[in-house]
Structure 1
Amino acid sequence: MKPLQISAETAVMLAKKLNVPLEQLMHMPQHILMKKLMELEQADSESETKKD
């Protein structure tokens, strides 16, 4: 499997947000990365709703 086709800045930002090592992020299958991003977005929207 080839690494994700994303920029270095994007990779560093995603690794920090998802709390995973950069090397693991770069070799993560795309469908798993998308699932984790959706979960992160859902958690962010839920926390915003609770703040209001």
Structure 2
Amino acid sequence: MKLVEAGEGTFTERLAELIGDAFDRSPLSTAAQALSELRSVLEREQIGMPTG
């Protein structure tokens, strides 16, 4: 679980670096949160993950 949390932090930081100047912080935070939640659902449901 710590690895996932660290990955989410890294993802959010990198996303902010890449598109931070294009948006105000509020919309950027909203987008990052939405992507984080989407990722969590996809991982929980094992959608798009290799099986076997």
Q: TM-score normalised to the size of structure 2?
A: 0.51
Counterparts of 1:31 and 1:25, CA distance in 2: 10
Moved over 2 A (4+): none
How many Å apart are 1:14 and its aligned residue? Answer: 1.5
Alignment correspondent of 2:15: 14
Identity %, equivalent residues: 21
Counterparts of 1:26 and 1:44, CA distance in 2: 24
The higher relative CO (CA closer than 8 Å, separation ≥ 6) is in 1
Counterparts of 1:42 and 1:27, CA distance in 2: 22
Alignment correspondent of 2:35: 40
Alignment correspondent of 1:26: 21
SS in 1 for 2:23: coil
How many Å apart are 1:49 and its aligned residue? Answer: 0.7
User: Where does the alignment leave 5 or more consecutive residues of structure 2 unmatched?
Assistant: 1-12, 48-52
How many Å apart are 1:27 and its aligned residue? Answer: 3.2
More helix by share: 2
Report the AA paired with residue 43 of structure 1.
Answer: L
